[in-house]
């Protein structure tokens, strides 16, 4: 699959009356989605748009704008809805977007962010148009519903997705039509998607996971996407009402599902598996879901720059084998490799030795790997080896064709010369029944360089103390002596990035003054 939009139009031709998108109680067929996207594409061509930015949460119109942009031969710019005004302004300037699409309630902020940038047209989804703002509703009424998609070479840009910028300024990840087509093809095969597939997409569609790793593969296969703005009640109501066979969620949503008070009020029998991504899954939440529900949790490992690399696989179309019946499956792993169009290898961060199993920094190569960072030629050059391998920065362990994510290379804690994986520590702490979430981070230590510390969020009624959690880590978790946390900080306020991950550096800054005297 080299060009996704042609695959979508093939489904329009063969399954035009089938439901493509469900959102907010309304169902939209492939024909309806295609006609609306074509009208928007007509308008984009008329104004000569080159790059179209969206500042939207999950909604039907997001898909209209995305597909219309591609049909017009323009480039989509996905901005994170959690970005503040200053970050949004930077993204608009960096991307040279000339169109910005927003909801009416965000119009004032969008106008302010767009001032002084290349944006020529502000488009509102649900408000009236005027001499300063274009109404999407009016565009879809006034412009023709049929258009021939602009032919694009495989190497032309499909979109630019901005990362959350946990280490500084957000980076614009450029992906071509070839990149998107390869990634979508990988996942259609791995998850055995068919026209009968019905996926509930609760993860943000402005993320790679919500659009490229769930919505696009399902639509390429002729299935249906049930779009949802996250609320725990809405998740269970949508499963009961729309009968999806799979759901794609992100971040802390898995904890909401695990702790939901009355799941027995809903018929969840259609749901075979839930794919979790965006942040490591707390061990307690994982086990609680296995204990409370019939569906399986499907884990994966991916990145904005290369899509999903490792994933749990489904057994047969429309179903997922129970986890305890999957031969050789390793609970807690991120699945096994997608061999179709992606190569991977492990490289020792110190010796640069290359291996295919064991522990090392993950490097990937293939058609799904991005084209580079927008306006960052030096950063792009530093991110690839001379022979084209993308240096991910992820430290992983591979055994028996399964992968475990140990952390980021720049997040590995080095204590007394020993490397400590934050995720290994977190899994032990999160196995305590009183712990909801744990995040390991380093604090400076005069003798050891760094010491391992953990910030912990507890269950609402938990009474466990920090010292008791330290004792638990020493005696019950199987950690090496140098991995055992030296300090535990109990909090109900973990810092979050726009993608809902926890930046460890922020915790180091927060608790730096709490460092103990050298031992």
User: Do 4-325 and 340-408 show the same overall fold?
Assistant: no
What is the pTM (predicted TM-score) of this model? 0.85
Domain ranges of the chain: 4-325, 340-408, 412-514
Query: What's the pLDDT tens digit per position in 144-189?
Result: 888 878 777 899 999 999 986 544 678 999 999 999 999 999 899 8
pLDDT tens sequence across 237-293? 999 999 999 999 987 788 899 999 999 999 999 999 898 876 667 777 778 888 999
Average pLDDT of the segment spanning 452-465: 95
CATH superfamily of this structure's domain 340-408: Luciferase; Domain 3 (2.30.38.10)
So what's the pLDDT on residue 131? 84
* Sign of the CA dihedral running 457, 463, 468, 474: negative
Task: Say if residues 426 and 280 touch (Cβ distance below 8 Å).
Answer: yes
> What are 72-127's pLDDT values in tens digits?
999 999 898 888 898 899 999 999 999 999 999 999 999 999 999 999 999 999 87
Angstrom CA distances, 406 to 201, 360, 375, 393, stand at 27, 9, 31, 11
Residue 399 has pLDDT above 80, yes or no: yes
- According to CATH, the superfamily of the domain at 4-325 is ANL, N-terminal domain (3.40.50.12780)
What does the alpha-carbon distance between residue 35 and residue 291 come to, in Å, rounded to a whole number? 45
pLDDT in tens, 298-312: 888 889 999 988 876
User: What 3-state DSSP class applies to 415?
Assistant: strand
In the sheet with 307-311, reading across from the earlier edge strand, the strands are: 26-29, 19-23, 224-227, 198-201, 246-250, 273-277, 296-303, 307-311, 336-337
Q: Which fold has domain 412-514?
A: GMP Synthetase; Chain A, domain 3 (3.30.300)
Element (H, E) at 414: strand 413-415
**Confidence (pLDDT) at 191:** 85
């Amino acid at each position: 699959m080299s060009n996704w939009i042609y695959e979508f139009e093939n489904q329009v031709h063969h399954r035009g009356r089938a439901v493509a998108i469900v959102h907010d109680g309304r169902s939209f067929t492939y024909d309806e989605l295609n006609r609306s996207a074509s009208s928007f594409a007509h308008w984009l061509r008329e104004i000569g748009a080159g790059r179209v930015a969206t500042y939207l949460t999950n909604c039907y119109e997001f898909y209209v704008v995305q597909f219309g942009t591609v049909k017009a031969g323009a480039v989509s710019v996905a901005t994170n809805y959690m970005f503040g005004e200053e970050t949004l302004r930077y993204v608009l300037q960096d991307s040279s977007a000339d169109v910005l699409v927003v909801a009416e309630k965000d119009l004032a902020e969008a106008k302010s962010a767009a001032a002084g940038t290349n944006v020529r047209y502000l488009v509102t989804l649900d408000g009236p148009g005027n001499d300063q703002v274009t109404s999407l509703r009016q565009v879809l009424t006034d412009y023709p519903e049929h258009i021939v998609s602009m032919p694009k070479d495989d190497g032309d840009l499909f979109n630019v997705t901005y990362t959350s910028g946990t280490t500084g300024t957000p980076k614009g990840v450029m992906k071509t039509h070839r990149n998107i087509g390869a990634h979508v093809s990988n996942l259609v095969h791995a998850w055995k998607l068919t026209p009968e597939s019905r996926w509930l997409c609760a993860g943000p569609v402005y993320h790679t996971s919500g659009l490229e790793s769930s919505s696009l593969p399902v639509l390429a296969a002729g299935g249906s996407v049930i779009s949802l703005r996250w609320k725990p009640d809405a998740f269970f109501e949508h499963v009961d009402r729309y009968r999806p066979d799979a759901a794609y969620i992100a971040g802390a949503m898995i904890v909401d599902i695990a702790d939901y008070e009355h799941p027995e009020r809903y018929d969840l029998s259609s749901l075979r598996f839930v794919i979790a991504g965006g942040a490591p899954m707390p061990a307690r939440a994982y086990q609680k879901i296995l204990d409370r529900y019939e569906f399986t949790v499907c884990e994966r490992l991916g990145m904005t720059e290369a899509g999903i690399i490792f994933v749990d696989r489904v057994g047969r179309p429309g179903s997922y084998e129970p986890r305890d019946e999957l031969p050789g499956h390793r609970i807690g792993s991120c699945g096994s490799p997608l061999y179709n169009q992606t190569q991977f290898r492990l490289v020792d961060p110190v010796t640069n030795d290359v291996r295919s199993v064991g522990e090392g920094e993950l490097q990937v190569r293939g058609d799904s790997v991005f084209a580079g960072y927008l306006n960052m030629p030096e950063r792009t050059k530093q991110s690839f080896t001379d022979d084209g391998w993308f240096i991910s920065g992820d430290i992983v362990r591979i055994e028996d064709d399964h992968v475990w994510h140990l952390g980021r290379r720049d997040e590995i804690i080095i204590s007394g010369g020993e490397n400590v994986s934050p995720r290994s520590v977190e899994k032990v702490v999160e196995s305590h029944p009183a712990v909801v979430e744990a995040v390991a981070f380093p604090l400076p230590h005069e003798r050891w360089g760094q010491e391992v510390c953990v910030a912990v969020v507890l269950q609402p009624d938990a009474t466990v103390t920090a010292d008791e959690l330290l004792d638990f880590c020493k005696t019950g978790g199987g950690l090496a002596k140098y991995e055992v946390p030296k300090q535990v900080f109990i909090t109900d306020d973990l810092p979050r990035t726009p993608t809902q991950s926890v930046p460890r550096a922020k915790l180091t800054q927060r608790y730096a003054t709490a460092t103990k005297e050298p031992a």
